[in-house]
Amino acid sequence: MYTRVIQATIRPKRVAEFKDTVTDHDLPIIRSQPGFVDDVETYAGNQFISLTFWETEEDAERFTRDVFPRIAARSGPLVVSPLEAKAYKVEQDTVHTLRSETVETMEKTQQTAEPAVPVRAQPAPRGPQLVTAFNIPATDAKVPAA
């Protein structure tokens, strides 16, 4: 897996516009690219860092060559200086490894599991319901004052 780290200093009065552009325009394009795995966007004031994760080095390079220049050009008026981008090979990753192991386990379970038995729907309870953090129904018992 490969990651691309993009950094930018956003013009202070354009941070909201930058965030909207990333969320509404750039991320849908990025997510649709072959080999895309994940994206993490971070902000600290007007500082921006994005980490995109790609299945292969070729996927990351294709994105860099074919898509990133358009995104960088569109962001130009919103940032103090051009977006800085660097690519890295991912050596350790617990989040994505855990996710792929979970998917594999779920797929194996679905292949070996017996068909689900239909469950009859239960009528909704009547009257006000209170559920506590421990999912224990409330009682009418009074709590002594402290």
CA distances 24 to 5, 19, 21, 30, 71, Å, are: 20, 8, 5, 11, 12
Q: Which domains does the chain have, with CATH numbers?
A: 2-91 (3.30.70.100)
Q: Is pLDDT of 28 > 80?
A: yes
b/e map of 56-83 (b: 16 or more CB within 10 Å)? eeebbebbeeeebeebbeebeebbeeeb
Confidence of residue 135 (pLDDT cuts 50, 70, 90): very low
State residue 38's pLDDT score.
93
Q: How far apart are CA 82 and CA 75, in angstroms?
A: 8
- 30 or 132, which is more confident? 30
Contact 19, 27 (CB under 8 A): no
- 102 or 137, which is more confident? 102
pLDDT tens per residue across span 45-70: 999 999 999 999 999 999 999 999 99
pLDDT above 90 as % of the chain: 54
